[in-house]
Amino acid sequence: MQQGGSEASEQWAAYGRQLGLNLHAARIARGLSQEDVAYGAGLSRWTYQKYERGLSKPGEPMNPRLRALLALAQVLQAELADLLPADPPDLRSR
């Protein structure tokens, strides 16, 4: 089902927050620091910290590049599909 603009935006933000929680849980399960994960994935620690909070730019939902997601999955020794939240929002245009 298609969503209105603000509802779709909120769902996207919630999806980003859940992705951040999933990254955090995977990192803790591996016993890694934020710095270990960030540098292993070629990111700054600050960028990775934002990702764990579900953010990209201050006040904007997380929207990492595919390369960053794949690198994070590899560093965390996880399947990308296991890091992504189960229910993605409907982002189709009306």
pLDDT at position 93: 67
What pLDDT, on a 0 to 100 scale, did the predictor assign at position 8?
79
Cα distances from 69 to residues 4, 6, 48, in angstroms, run: 27, 26, 11
- Give the mean pLDDT of 8-18: 92
Quote the pLDDT of residue 1: 42
Share the mean pLDDT of the chain: 91
CATH number at residue 52: 1.10.260
The domain in which residue 55 lies consists of 33-85
Residue 15 lies in a domain: no
Q: Does residue 79 lie within any of the structural domains? A: yes
Q: Evaluate whether residue 24 is within a structural domain.
A: no
Is the confidence at residue 4, as pLDDT, over 90?
Answer: no
Domain count across the chain: 1
What is the reported pLDDT for 2? 45
Task: Give 36-75 pLDDT, tens digit per residue.
Answer: 999 999 999 999 999 999 998 878 899 999 999 999 999 9
pLDDT of residue 64: 94
Main-chain dihedrals φ then ψ at residue 55, nearest 5 degrees: -120, 155
Distance separating alpha carbons of residues 68 and 43, to the nearest angstrom? 8
